[in-house]
Amino acid sequence: MRPSLALLRTTTFRLALAQAGVVLSFVVALLIYIYFATVGQLIRDSDLLLGQEYASLERAYAEGGIRRLGQEVGERAAREGPLLYVLAESDGAVIVGDFQHLPAAPRDTPQHIDFELPNSDGEESGEARGLIGRLLGGPILLVARDLGDSAVIAARIRRVLWTVAVLGLLISIASGLIASWLANRRAEDLSNTAREVMAGDLTRRAPVRGAGDEFDTLAEALNAMLDRLEQLMQTTRTAGDAIAHDLRSPLTRFRHRLESALEAPPDTEADRAALRKALDEADRLLDMFAGVLKLARVEASSNWRFERVEATAILRELVDFYEPAAEEQGLAFANNIDDALVLRGDVGLFTQAVSNLIENALKYTPVGGRVEVRAVRRQDGRIEIDVMDDGPGVAPEHRERVMERFVRLEGARSTPGAGLGLSLVAAVARLHRGGLHLRDGLGGAGERKGLCAALVLPADA
């Protein structure tokens, strides 16, 4: 495809062409209007005047014959004014009048004509409108009006308008071509970036010219998308490495147990113990896989069916569910859940998210500690669910990191769990256009600050 032809096909060019069409139609309409308002009106006025003059002379001819008519015409022709008269013999020879030759041959009925005025030198000097006719018995009568300056102006306006129309069309086409060439170049920048990214260079970004135009907006959106994409790729890569790393040790232990059970002399009791441990190890591995898959599905934001979630009922149910376990651990488990909290989301994910927060609190709070679940409708209309404890807490500098997947802070390695709990909650919060925030909790004895995990979600409208 030749580039010039491609340019003609661009949207910008088509728009420019359409615009030129509109401008041209407008100019033509204006032209027609001006023509009728000036020239048309002039001619209509003239025709009326000429008709009256012709009629009065015709009456003079009827009353006094050719002599009276000749006299009338002679008198009127001598008068200063825009009206001109000629009386001629039936053969066209001028008897009396303003000029020596008839500008046109008469018909039997009076007829309007347009003609150029001959001046004294025989040169043409302006336009005139006339009414020419043959009277009874043969003489020819012409009554005319010198249109003078107004006709010249009208003609000039017409010429100017035509020039403007033609020039306008040409300029529109030219500017259309230039605009589409410019737009094309910007679009080409974006396509090039997209192509390079597709080719594998995820660090490429579309140029932003700083003009603040729609191409900049588009380029910024594209770049933001690429940033997010790159970040996701990075997360996936990190997660992949983390999975590989985290799976390696349980898999190795798993293999080692089976291997040593095989190598040891047959001993039913020991074999069974080894098998049980291997099974536990396998279960942990499967749990991790299930967790990773669930997290991936939540992060992919694929077709979740959002519905009305009766948060109050679900939260009270969860508290009721965990209460015995908390008591068993020697924890004071309190709750303060507002009535009638309703949000829009996925019931299963919401339940699991809060359950993860409660389990975290139960897991990390030492015996004798306190855990509290609080849920309120905030001033800004959002629903905030706080799960607070007075455990060791998380230092502010680690708070972002513990929400990443597989991150388990020092000392947490010995407790069960794959380190996916908080990252799943954060992902669920993002899916619901909410957020998960960590801050100081209930503040326990001594240095213990406790942890408050605040899940903030939009309420059901």
Partner 1 sequence: MRVLVVEDDAEMAESLKASLAADSHEVELAGDGETGQAMAINGSYDVIVLDRMLPKKLGVSVVRELREQGVSTPVLILSALHDEDHRVEGLNAGANDYLGKPFSTRELLARVRSLWHGRGREPQTRLQVGDLEMDLLARTVKRNSKKLDLQPREFRLLEYLMRHAGQTVTRKMLLENVWDYHFDPQTNVIDVHISRLRSKIDRDFAHSLLHTVRGSGYRLEA
Contacting positions for partner 1 (CB under 8 A): 276, 283, 286-287, 290, 294, 297, 303, 305, 317, 320-322, 324-325, 328, 346, 348, 351-352, 355, 359, 362-363, 416-417, 421
The smaller minimum CB distance to partner 1, of residues 254 and 322, is found at 322
The smaller minimum CB distance to partner 1, of residues 89 and 280, is found at 280
Contacts of 371 (CB under 8 A, 6+ apart): 326, 331, 332, 333, 334, 358, 361, 362, 365, 387, 388, 389
Tokens, residue 333:
């488990």
Contacts of 203 (CB under 8 A, 6+ apart): 230
C-alpha–C-alpha distance, residues 402 and 419, integer Å = 8
Q: How many CB atoms lie within 10 A of CB 85?
A: 24
CB of 296 to partner 1, least distance (A): 12
CB of 181 to partner 1, least distance (A): 51
CB of 269 to partner 1, least distance (A): 15
CA 271 from centroid of its chain's CA atoms: 68
The smaller minimum CB distance to partner 1, of residues 362 and 394, is found at 362
Full DSSP string of 287-353: HHHHHHHHHHHHHTT-----EEEEHHHHHHHHHHHHHHHHHHTT-EEEEEE-TT-EEEE-HHHHHHH
Shortest CA distance to 156 belongs to which of 45, 39, 42?
39
The smaller minimum CB distance to partner 1, of residues 119 and 415, is found at 415
C-alpha–C-alpha distance, residues 58 and 426, integer Å = 105
Q: Are 82 and 146 in contact (CB under 8 A)?
A: yes
CB of 321 to partner 1, least distance (A): 6
The smaller minimum CB distance to partner 1, of residues 297 and 374, is found at 297
CB of 461 to partner 1, least distance (A): 23
CB of 416 to partner 1, least distance (A): 5
Q: Which amino acid is at 82?
A: P
CB of 307 to partner 1, least distance (A): 11
Q: Where does residue 347 fall: left (phi above 0), alpha (psi -120 to 50 degrees), or beta otherwise?
A: alpha
CB of 229 to partner 1, least distance (A): 25
Long-range CB contact pairs, 364-368, < 8 A, 24+: 364/389, 364/391, 364/392, 364/412, 364/415, 364/451, 365/329, 365/331, 365/389, 365/390, 365/391, 366/391, 366/392, 367/329, 367/330, 367/331, 368/330, 368/331
CB of 224 to partner 1, least distance (A): 30
Q: Are 40 and 121 in contact (CB under 8 A)?
A: no
The smaller minimum CB distance to partner 1, of residues 297 and 399, is found at 297
C-alpha–C-alpha distance, residues 51 and 72, integer Å = 16
The smaller minimum CB distance to partner 1, of residues 124 and 323, is found at 323
Q: What kind and span of H or E run contains 166?
A: helix 148-198
CB of 311 to partner 1, least distance (A): 16
Q: Are 131 and 54 in contact (CB under 8 A)?
A: yes
C-alpha–C-alpha distance, residues 299 and 96, integer Å = 104
C-alpha–C-alpha distance, residues 272 and 253, integer Å = 16
Contacts of 168 (CB under 8 A, 6+ apart): 20, 23, 24, 27
- SS3 (DSSP) at 377: strand
The smaller minimum CB distance to partner 1, of residues 120 and 303, is found at 303
Q: Are 189 and 219 in contact (CB under 8 A)?
A: yes
The smaller minimum CB distance to partner 1, of residues 124 and 320, is found at 320
The smaller minimum CB distance to partner 1, of residues 61 and 406, is found at 406
The smaller minimum CB distance to partner 1, of residues 183 and 420, is found at 420
CB of 216 to partner 1, least distance (A): 41
CB of 413 to partner 1, least distance (A): 14
The smaller minimum CB distance to partner 1, of residues 88 and 311, is found at 311
